């Protein structure tokens, strides 16, 4: 069977395999980040500060709604990468078709939840009454078209699990250019306001998902989708959920914690809301090199452990961790000096710029801790140990973060508490991850899972 469009990461130099996979993911993520950032840039410059605040309140809420399903797709990604590494192509294709069916179901559920629950959650988040109507309008239209987000992540995850990070990049470049054009048409020409920004993003995301799907239909590929075979295979769905639900729960609880922090930031007014939104857009860009390495690490670890290349997996893990930490710290140092100027691209309101600058300068020198935590979590997921990062993130990034914020804010209503909680929790989780990475036998965890699956007569190969 031809393996056109797939990359075997079990051969060649470890660093080269990781970099060749991570670089297209980085560029791809860069364009993906443009979706929301271009919205904010155009909204801030054409519609004003209140509309910018409305759109800026989107990040944590959108992440809360979408993160569980996207986390579950990561379960399919590791499963697919392990089947691919072990050359078990029939089971790999069953996992692919099951994942697509699950993606369609997830999109329908998320659309209904987003459309009906958005107003209630925004009010609970203490969104400023001046921007609440526009926030509701923006979010509702986002979730009406959220199928593009869900299915793109589903399809791109399949390709990335097979070592192909180039095609998702190409499709995102096309859709990002489309997004820029539609933003100007809908906002500057047709004057549709924040609804126009949301619709432009939704259409662009649907375009990227469609292009990915058409590529997966190609003949002569190891991964070719056959529409008539798209259905739920219960054994595969069981494995996908076993490995994906911990990642989904992890994402959701982090999203919930961030929503709670965001709701506290909202109590400082619409300029603080907008400043946090500007900070979030910039952070989303600057941390892309690290997230690219973590995605690459999960696929690399999955394929190599599936092929029983344990020493190779360890060498790749070391390279990924060290490189991501160095990149994160270099970026943090640069940000300290340029953050006021970058923030001014979104708005000329000095109060909004000062909030964004203060938040970034509070955290920028600690980004290496965030990079370390994400890297080790990615390695653990690739090794089929998704439960480990779930527990750590649940206890530290959710329970501790929320508890600390609620108690500290009752003692002193100070926005610096909300900014400082992030590096504090990054540091705690990094200490825990360091001990786990040094003293756990993570490379052989898959073997025990495989034995259990064989006893249960479930297809071989484990997942993260």
pLDDT digits (tens, 9 = 90+) for 191-213: 888 788 888 888 988 999 999 99
Q: Give the tokens for residue 66.
A: 């979408």
> 314-348 pLDDT, tens per residue?
898 899 899 989 988 998 999 999 999 988 888 88
The pLDDT value recorded for residue 444 is: 58
What value does the mean pLDDT take over residues 21-37? 71
Please name the residues in contact with 316: beta carbons below 8 A apart, sequence gap of 6 or more.
14, 15, 17, 18, 297, 300, 301, 304
Q: Which pLDDT score, from 0 to 100, does residue 361 have?
A: 95
Average pLDDT value for residue range 385-391: 83
Q: In which band, very low, low, confident or very high, does the pLDDT at 7 lie, cut at 50, 70 and 90?
A: low
DSSP state of 165: -
Residue 354's pLDDT is what? 93
Candidates 430, 294, 314; CA nearest to 372 is 430
Instruction: Find the mean pLDDT for residues 178-188.
Output: 86
pLDDT tier, 85 (very low <50, low <70, confident <90, very high otherwise): confident
Average pLDDT of the chain is: 81
How much of the chain, in percent, has pLDDT values that exceed 90? 20
Which structure tokens are listed for 381?
């997921």
Q: Could you give the residue ranges of the DSSP H alpha helices within 47-57?
A: 49-56
Give the residue, 207 or 305, on which the prediction is more confident: 207
Distance CA 464, CA 455 (A): 19
Taking phi first (over 0 means left), then psi (-120 to 50 degrees means alpha), and beta for anything else, what does residue 308 get? left
pLDDT at residue 293 above 70? Answer: yes
What whole-number distance in Å separates Cα of residue 418 and Cα of residue 404?
10
CA torsion 232→235→237→239, rounded to 10°?
-160
What does the domain layout of the chain look like in residue ranges? 14-455
Name which of 158, 173, 169, 160 is nearest 18 in CA terms: 160
Instruction: Name the burial class of residue 391, with classes exposed (0-12), middle (13-18) and buried (19+) by CB atoms within 10 angstroms of its CB.
Output: middle
Three-state secondary-structure class, residue 127? coil
Q: What pLDDT digit, counting tens, does each position of 391-431 carry?
A: 898 899 888 998 999 899 999 999 999 999 999 999 999 99
Q: Which of 34-43, 129-138, 225-234 has the highest mean pLDDT?
A: 225-234
pLDDT at 340: 93
Identify the burial level of 418 via C-beta atoms within 10 angstroms of its C-beta, where 0-12 means exposed, 13-18 middle and 19 or more buried.
buried
How far is the C-alpha of 97 from the C-alpha of 158, rounded, in Å?
10
- Do residues 213 and 44 make contact, with C-beta atoms less than 8 angstroms apart? no
């Amino acid at each position: 069977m031809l393996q056109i469009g797939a990359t075997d990461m079990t051969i060649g130099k470890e660093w080269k395999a990781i970099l060749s996979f991570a670089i297209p993911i980085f560029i791809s993520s860069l364009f993906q980040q443009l979706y929301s950032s271009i919205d904010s840039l155009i909204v801030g410059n054409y519609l004003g500060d209140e509309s910018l605040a409305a759109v800026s309140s989107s990040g944590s809420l959108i992440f809360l709604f979408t993160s569980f399903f996207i986390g579950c797709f990561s379960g399919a990604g590791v499963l697919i990468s392990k089947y691919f590494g072990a050359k078990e192509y029939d089971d790999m294709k069953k996992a692919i078709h099951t994942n697509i069916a699950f993606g369609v179901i997830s999109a329908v559920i998320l659309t209904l939840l987003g459309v009906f629950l958005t107003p209630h959650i925004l009010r609970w988040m203490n969104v400023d009454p001046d921007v609440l109507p526009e926030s509701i309008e923006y979010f509702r239209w986002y979730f009406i078209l959220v199928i593009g987000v869900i299915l793109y992540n589903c399809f791109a995850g399949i390709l990335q699990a097979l070592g192909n990070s180039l095609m998702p990049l190409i499709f995102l470049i096309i859709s990002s250019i489309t997004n820029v054009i539609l933003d100007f048409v809908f906002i500057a020409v047709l004057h549709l306001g924040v609804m126009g920004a949301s619709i432009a993003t939704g259409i662009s995301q649907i375009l990227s998902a469609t292009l990915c799907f058409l590529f997966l239909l190609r003949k002569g590929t190891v991964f070719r989708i056959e529409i008539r075979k798209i259905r739920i295979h219960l054994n595969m769905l069981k494995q996908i959920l076993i490995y994906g639900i911990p990642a989904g729960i992890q994402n959701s609880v982090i999203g919930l914690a961030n929503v709670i922090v965001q709701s506290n930031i909202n109590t400082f007014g619409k300029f603080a809301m907008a400043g946090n939104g500007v900070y979030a857009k910039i952070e989303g860009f600057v941390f892309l090199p690290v997230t690219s390495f973590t995605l690459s690490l999960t696929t690399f670890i999955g394929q190599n452990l599936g092929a029983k290349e344990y020493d190779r997996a360890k060498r790749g893990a070391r390279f990924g961790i060290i490189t991501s930490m160095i990149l994160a710290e270099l970026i943090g140092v640069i940000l300290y000096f340029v953050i006021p100027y970058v923030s001014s691209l979104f708005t000329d309101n000095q109060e909004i710029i000062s909030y964004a600058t203060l938040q970034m300068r509070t955290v920028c020198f600690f980004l290496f801790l965030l990079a370390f935590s994400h890297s080790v979590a990615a390695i653990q997921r690739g090794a089929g140990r998704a439960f480990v990062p779930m527990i750590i993130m649940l206890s530290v990034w959710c329970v501790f973060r929320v508890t600390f914020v609620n108690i500290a804010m009752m003692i002193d209503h100070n926005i610096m508490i909300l900014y400082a909680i992030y590096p504090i929790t990054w540091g705690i989780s990094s200490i825990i991850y360091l001990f786990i990475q040094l003293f756990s036998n993570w490379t052989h965890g898959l073997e025990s899972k495989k034995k259990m699956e064989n006893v249960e007569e479930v297809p071989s190969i484990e997942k993260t």
